[in-house]
Amino acid sequence: MPLPRRATLLALASALLFSAAAPAGRVLLKDLPPLTLAGLLYLGAALGVMPAVLRGRGRIARGDGAGHDTRASWRHLAGAIVAGGIVAPVLLLLALEREGASVVSLWLNLELAATALLGIAFFSEHLHRQGWFGVGGAVAAGALLAAGGGWPGLSAGMLLAGACLCWGLDNQWTALVDGLSPAQSTLFKGLVAGGVNLALGFAIEPSLLAPYPLLAALVVGALCYGASIALHIAASQDLGATRAQAIFASAPFFGAALSVAALGEPFGLREAAAAVAFALSVALVLRDRHGHFHAHATIEHTHSHRHDDGHHLHIHPGAGPWLRHSHWHRHAPFAHAHPHRPDLHHRHDH
């Protein structure tokens, strides 16, 4: 089953924007402490998506039973804010203090392995032989980078592994956010996570913020985090968290290339070997397929959808088969067999 073109392009755009986060963070750390910078980046993310929220895009639709889904979405979003918005970016910036941005960028591929393993363990996702080889390859490539960097490299690798574990949880929880638009999810994550980390930064490392680094951090946050997160959430809801993360895993390669080109960082045999291993691992996870006979229970929710995917058969004026739109709707129970991904409609055991 081919991946949906729109969702694939959204995931790729998200990756391109996020690829600049590590090299930009490395530069900004010269003027800003890690906690303060983490707070500013996520406040910038909130500012980046605020215009879309204010224009009322993807407003939460109301309907019978929609309240339960909304409450569940808030719980999922709260977990994503703590893991992916508060903890993970600080661990990333601490790693950038110890290791170059090109190496850190490549390490971010561990997020793919973390997302997949968490999905299998806790979120009813599935991997077959190719997917498992891909996860194993990503872990091996990360170990290769850590082993060649001495203690700074090992400590940076451990920090990055923790960050990727947190972002893996973030990916799984945000893929389940139902009834909130991607822009709304990103706005709440940015405001809460940014506010918490900025407050902690001022409390632990008080410092005066120069106007240019402050403005630069907000701009980087708006593009590399705000726009990137919103696009990634939208892609995850169609592709499932693991497949969306597999496409998003191109970001570390773009980031490594940008770090070498813009910052003049070295890129030797160790980094090249790890990059090849990561690329092969991503390809294996993307090629992993899953299909079987399964039954859908009655479900009521709000999310972006089209009427040509076999699951949204309801009819209403002004919505042609290929027009993507969002509103509250009810799915009647039915059963069928087809290749599928662990999206909002296919999180089940078999």
pLDDT digits (tens, 9 = 90+) for 269-304: 888 988 998 888 878 877 766 554 546 566 666 655
Asked if 62 contacts 74 with a C-beta cutoff of 8 angstroms, the reply is no
Structural domain contains residue 31 = yes
Structural domain contains residue 159 = yes
* Residues forming beta bridges with residue 302, ordered by sequence position: 328
Structural domain contains residue 320 = no
pLDDT at 196: 96
Structural domain contains residue 346 = no
pLDDT at 316: 62
Asked if 45 contacts 195 with a C-beta cutoff of 8 angstroms, the reply is no
Distance of CA 287 to the CA centre of its chain: 20
Ramachandran region, residue 240 (left: φ > 0; alpha: ψ -120 to 50; beta: rest) = left
Structural domain contains residue 121 = yes
Structural domain contains residue 120 = yes
Compute mean pLDDT per 10 residues along the chain, 350 residues long, and list them.
Answer: 75 91 94 95 94 66 46 88 95 93 89 85 78 85 77 87 94 81 86 96 87 95 90 78 75 90 89 89 73 60 59 60 58 60 51
Structural domain contains residue 308 = no
For 241, what's the count of Cα atoms within 13 Å in the CB-facing half-sphere? 28
Structurally, the chain folds into a number of domains equal to 1
Asked if 86 contacts 163 with a C-beta cutoff of 8 angstroms, the reply is no
Maximum Cα interatomic distance, the chain, rounded to a whole number of Å: 63
pLDDT at 22: 93
pLDDT at 260: 92
Structural domain contains residue 175 = yes
pLDDT at 64: 39
Asked if 185 contacts 230 with a C-beta cutoff of 8 angstroms, the reply is yes
- 48: containing domain: 5-291
